[in-house]
Amino acid sequence: MLAGAAISLVANVALAQPPAGDKPMVRPGAAVSDGRKPDVAASADPSAGLLFKPEAVKSEGVVTVGGQAIAYNAVAGTIIVHPRGWDDAARRETGATPGANLGAGANPEAEASMFYVAYFKKGAPAADRPITFIYNGGPGSSTMWLHLGAFGPRRIVTADNGEHTPAAPYALVNYASSLMDVSDMVFIDAPGAGFSRIAGRDKEKAFWGVDEDAAAFTSFITAFLSQYGRWNSPKYLFGESYGTPRSAVLINNLETGESVDFNGVILLSQILNFALSVDGAENNPGSDQAYITAMPTYAATAWFRNLVPNKPATLEAYLKEVQDFALGDYAVALQKGADLDPAAKRAVAARYAKYTGLPVDYVLRADLRVTGGMYEKELQVASGMTTGRLDTRFQGPDMDPLAKEAAYDPQSAALSSAYVSGFNDYARRTLGYGEGKVFKPSVNVFRFWNNNHVPPGRGFGAPRAMLNVMPDLASAMKYNPGLKVMLLGGYYDLATPYFEGYYEMKHLPIPDALQANISYHYYQSGHMVYAHEASLKALHDDVAAFIAKNARR
Beta-bridge mates of residue 135: 239
pLDDT of residue 474: 98
CATH class of 31-275+418-550: alpha beta
Residues constituting the chain = 553
pLDDT at 553: 63
pLDDT in tens, the chain (553 residues): 333 322 222 222 222 233 333 333 333 334 444 443 433 333 335 446 789 999 999 999 999 998 999 999 999 999 999 988 777 665 554 445 554 545 555 568 899 999 999 999 999 998 889 999 999 999 999 999 999 999 999 999 998 878 899 999 999 899 889 999 999 999 999 999 999 999 999 999 999 999 999 999 999 999 999 999 999 999 999 999 999 999 999 999 999 999 999 999 999 999 999 999 999 999 889 999 999 999 999 999 999 999 999 999 999 999 999 999 999 999 999 999 999 999 999 999 999 999 999 999 999 999 999 999 999 999 999 999 999 999 999 999 999 999 999 999 999 999 999 999 999 999 999 999 999 999 999 999 999 998 888 778 665 555 556 899 999 999 999 999 999 999 999 999 999 999 999 999 999 999 999 999 999 999 999 999 999 988 989 999 999 999 999 987 6
C-beta separation of 184 from 131 below 8 A: yes
- Which positions ≥6 away from 328 have C-beta within 8 Å? none
The Cα–Cα gap between 466 and 359 comes to 32
CA 37 to chain centre: 30
In single-letter form, the type of residue at position 257 comes to G
Model-level pTM? 0.88
Compute, in degrees rounded to 10, the torsion defined by CA atoms 529, 532, 534, 536: 50
- The predicted pLDDT at position 97 comes to 53
What does the domain layout of the chain look like in residue ranges?
Answer: 31-275+418-550, 278-408
Q: Return the closest-CA partner of residue 533 out of 64, 145, 154, 160.
A: 160
Residues with Cβ within 8 Å of residue 224, at least 6 apart in sequence: 79, 116, 118, 133, 186, 230
pLDDT at 26: 36
| Distance separating alpha carbons of residues 417 and 392, to the nearest angstrom | 19
Q: How buried is 340 (Cβ within 10 angstroms: 0-12 exposed, 13-18 middle, 19+ buried)?
A: middle
3-state SS assignment for residue 73:
strand
Rounded to whole angstroms, how far apart are CA atoms 53 and 26? Answer: 13
Phi, psi of 95 (to 5 degrees): 85, 5
* Contact call for residues 322 and 295 (beta carbons, < 8 A): yes
CB–CB of 262/308 below 8 Å? Answer: no
- Segments in 337-436 forming alpha helices (H): 342-356, 360-365, 372-378, 410-425
Backbone dihedral angles phi then psi of residue 546, each to the nearest 5 degrees? -65, -45
